[in-house]
Amino acid sequence: MDQNSQIIHSWTSPEFIKKERGRAWFWIIGAAGLLFLIAALWMKNYVFAIIIPLFVFVIFSQAFKEPEEIELLISNEGMGHGENFTPFKEMKSFWVFREKDLPYVSIKMGKNLKPNLFIPIQNEDPEKIQEILIKFIPLEEQEESMMDNLAERLKI
């Protein structure tokens, strides 16, 4: 963020919602990982056989991670938190999703290869955030991707 920029709005929010996962969830993920590992070894796909346990390890370690409180901000030049600041000129459009446990802003990036930014707005007024952002980038309705819905249902 440039020293000349002015902070318009700031708030704190957890970086993600910690999902409740029961003992059965861990058993299912472990069993699925074991089945994929057996299939990879049976097909003699040794690279895949190495990747599967690593993938299961990452999923398990993320399941135990506690969310950190982060300070988010909107300035006259862009938005983000800490070192993760994105200028408005790199953003194409935004949409505010209000239906979830943790409401968030989805920002479509100007370059096709860049993924959307998801910014949690937890206890903030979504209308106020929308009023501020619409001054800098266009509002464009978005739908959650199939991958986002799948990840939510699998609690990953």
Convert the pLDDT of each residue in 56-75 to its tens digit.
999 999 888 998 888 989 99
**CATH code of the domain covering residue 107:** 2.30.29
Query: Would you say residue 2 lies in a domain?
Result: no
Whole-angstrom Cα distance, residue 4 to residue 59? 41
Query: What are φ and ψ of residue 94, in 5° steps?
Result: -145, 165
Question: Quick one: 39 and 95 in the same domain?
Answer: no
pLDDT at position 119, please? 84
pLDDT at position 55, please? 94
Quote the mean pLDDT of the chain: 86
pLDDT at position 124, please? 86
pLDDT at position 56, please? 95
Domain count, the chain: 2
DSSP 84: E
pLDDT at 100 over 70: no
Query: Would you say residue 82 lies in a domain?
Result: yes
- The 3-state DSSP class for residue 121 equals coil
pLDDT at position 83, please? 83
What is the DSSP pairing of strand 78-81 with strand 84-87? antiparallel
Q: Which domain holds residue 121?
A: 7-15+68-154
pLDDT at 102 over 80: no
Query: Would you say residue 123 lies in a domain?
Result: yes
pLDDT at 133 over 70: yes
Tokens of 2: 């440039």
Give pTM, 2 decimals: 0.69
Query: Would you say residue 1 lies in a domain?
Result: no
- When mean pLDDT is compared across 38-47, 99-108, 120-129, the lowest value belongs to 99-108
Query: Would you say residue 88 lies in a domain?
Result: yes
Whole-angstrom Cα distance, residue 13 to residue 154? 23
Question: Quick one: 115 and 79 in the same domain?
Answer: yes
**Residues β-bridged to residue 81:** 84
Question: Quick one: 43 and 83 in the same domain?
Answer: no
pLDDT at position 45, please? 96
pLDDT at position 3, please? 66
Question: Quick one: 127 and 112 in the same domain?
Answer: yes
Closest by CA position to 132, among listed 124, 122, 123:
124
Question: Quick one: 52 and 125 in the same domain?
Answer: no
Closest by CA position to 67, among listed 101, 25, 31:
101
